[in-house]
Structure formats: structure tokens, C-alpha cells
Structure 1
Amino acid sequence: MNVYRIGQLAELANVSRRTIDYYTQLGMLNYEKTGSRYRYYTEDALNRLQMINRYKEQNMPLTEIKERLQVLSETTVDSEQVLLMVDKLSTDLRGLENELLELKPLLEQLDEQQLTYAAQQLSVRGSSLLSILAMLA
């Protein structure tokens, strides 16, 4: 497993050292300390930082992000429950696809500025969803 010093982690996650310190103080990131004075962060910390960034892109408050991270840490894996959740998510996605198809005629009536705004909103959320799905795969 890879371990990173704070500077390396900051560079990989494209955040500042100060941000990592802040998230560590909030209990959102954990580190290991060896005999030296350096803090070492694992691959898990990098993954958590990437998740935090995705949640922040969705304008989620840090308190909610912290709660989600805690739930992920405390959750034990029940494969049957995971499969049920995947089935539900698949059903939800099909529903969203149908809603988008219903929206298509309405989108065609928007002016250029409104259409650009709608596309930006969908793009941010869609790319966040794709990133999460990629992490899960």
C-alpha cells in the first residue's frame, strides 16, 4: 500500500496542505505517525480526499460530507444488501433516463443562455456520478 507525506498527498489530490490539515482536524482524514515527526497518509486518505472533492463539487456542506465518510467507514459489507442497492440504483437510473426523455421537448424550447445553464448543471452532477461509478468499478 502506498503511503504519502502531506505534500505528496496534497499534490496528488490537488488541494493545499492547509486543507489536508483542516480535514484531519475535523476527523475526515486519518494518518499514521512513525518514529519521525512526519505524518504519513495511506491510499485510503487519497480516496477520501477525492470523494470530498466530488461532494464539494455538488455543494455539499462539510458536515454532511463528514457524516457520509463516517457511514462508509462503519459499514460492514453485506453482499446481498449491496446487490439490492445496486438493483435500486439501476431502477432509479432508468427512471432518470425516462425523465430526461420527457424533458427533451422542453429543453428544445429554451433560449441559448437557459440551455447553457441547464447543460452546466447536468454536466457537474453527471461527471460527479461518473467519477463515483468509476471508483466503484
Structure 2
Amino acid sequence: MYRIGQLAELANVSRRTIDYYTQLGMLNYEKTGSRYRYYTEDALNRLQMINRYKEQNMPLNEIKKRLQVWKQTTVDSEQVLLMVDKLSADLKELENELMELKPLLNQLDEQQVSFAVKQLSVRSSSLLSIIAMLA
């Protein structure tokens, strides 16, 4: 939790900017027993997004719409973890299959090996691109 001054410093914006975005409903805060407003990590992430959008000369009303869409989009982290576990198991199975295939590759002639390598290269480069995008 950050007080407004801490948040302003971390996001490299003024307190007045944070006040303005809060009034527009782009940032939320929590009040405790004291009279201070406290902002969460989410507010810092939102400020960083706002700054990126502003660098693209996007108007504030468009930024606000995008933030609302972002807020409405929820991710079921348990479902994501299950999918990652399944993918990890699938990759382990594929690795085992490739190890079983290795002795068979030694029995192929040069033309057959060249064809197999070409097929694997195309598919593996696609897979590596997808993994890179996800990371």
C-alpha cells in the first residue's frame, strides 16, 4: 500500500495528477482510520499503463475505457496453472518420445535424415516462437 506521495514518486507523476485520475475514476484508493489515502499495487500498474498510453498520444477518455476493459477482464489463475501443468507434462512426454526416436534416426540414410531434420526445424521454430511470446 502506498500513500499518494510514494505512489507519485514511484510512477514519476505529480500528486495532482494522481488526484485528477482518481477524480476521473481511473484510480481507486482505500482509506484507513487515518485521513490518508492508500493506493495498492494495482494503482501503480494502472499509472504505468496510463503513462504508456499517453506516450502514444491517446486521449484520456480512451485510456479510461481501456482501463475499464482491463478491470473487467479476469483471469482464473487456478485454470492457468492447470493448463501450464498439462503443457509441462505434454512437453515431458514429447521429450521421452524424441529420446525413443533417437536410435531409429541412426538407421536412416542421409536424405531421410535431412527430410526429418527439415520437418522438425519448421515445427520447433514455430513452437519456440510461441513459447517466447508467452514468456
Pairwise TM-score range, normalised by the shorter structure? 0.5 to 0.7
Q: TM-score, normalising length from structure 2?
A: 0.56
Give the structure, 1 or 2, with the largest relative contact order (CA under 8 Å, sep 6 or more).
1
- The offset of 1:53, in angstroms, is 0.1
Distance, in Å, in 2 between the alignment partners of 1:5 and 1:76 is 26
4+ runs of 1 displaced by more than 6 Å? Answer: none
Find the aligned partners of 2:53 and 2:21 in 1 and give their Cα distance: 14
Aligned residues between the structures: 80
Alpha-carbon shift at residue 76 of structure 1 (Å): 2.8
1:67 to 46, 57, 65: 65
Shift of 1:62: 0.2
Q: Structure 1: give runs of 5+ residues left out of the alignment.
A: 81-135
Tell me which residue corresponds to 1:27: 25
Match in the other structure for 1:105:
none
Choose 1 or 2 for highest CA Rg.
2
TM (norm. structure 1) is 0.55
Task: Read off the aligned partner of 2:12 and give its amino acid letter.
Answer: N
Give the C-alpha shift of residue 75 in structure 1: 1.5
CA deviation vs aligned residue, 1:25-71 (integer Å, no higher than 9, x gap): 00000000001000000000000000000000000000000000000
Q: Partner residue of 2:44?
A: 46
- State the secondary structure of the residue aligned to 1:40: strand
Q: Name the residue aligned to 1:56.
A: 54
